[in-house]
Amino acid sequence: MASESQAIVAQVTDLTDSDSLQDLSTRLRAEPQSIDILVHSAGMITHAPIRSSDVDDLDRMMRVNLRGAYCITQELLPQLIENAGDIVFVNSLVTQFPRAMSGQYAATKHALIGFANSLREEVNDLGVRVLSIYPGKTATPGQERLCREAGEPYRPEFMLDPQDVAEMLVGALKLPRRAEVTEIRMRPSAKPPGKQ
């Protein structure tokens, strides 16, 4: 889709900081190109047992995984409505398959589902499509870090490639406007020996 678009704008911001979020929204609204697609792909994860997890980590994950997406969407929604655009939330399969040590992360991602689903009900009649995509383990630097922290081998051959997720997302967005994909669940097809 990027090759068909007039402009892809990448911006850097601190999603935990309200002033940075406001600055990002101001910069995006000042771009000469209109905003047609908004993809929320930022995320933060820490693993810890609930009985001893740091609540400050939960607060940071709420700000990155939910509040940042909420604030940016709210700021850019007028343009997205005007352009009959698309909003994409990159979520996680942890919402369907809970794991020990990921309670805080799972809670923030469940909250993101509630936001995305409510948003869809508000903006569908205004021509805006809302898609949530739930990838399983994906071969990213973040996944490599999690494997290292858990003392597990990093085996990208048993993970999705980020390109797989991007191609699925682009395919959904290329559908005619009369069609809307609301959810996509993806997981690696190859499993490590001994895993279901």
Structural domains of the chain sorted by starting position, each given as residue range(s) with its CATH number in brackets: 15-186 (3.40.50.720)
β-partners of residue 38 are 87
Active site residue 105: yes
For 167-186, write each residue's pLDDT tens digit.
999 999 999 999 999 999 99
Residue 53 structure tokens: 């997890």
Q: Which residue blocks in the chain are alpha helix, DSSP H?
A: 18-30, 55-62, 68-82, 103-123, 141-150, 162-173
Q: How far apart are CA 95 and CA 43, in angstroms?
A: 14
For 91-129, write each residue's pLDDT tens digit.
999 999 988 999 999 999 999 999 999 999 999 999 999
Catalytic position from the list 70, 105, 137, 154: 105
Catalytic position from the list 109, 137, 174, 195: 109
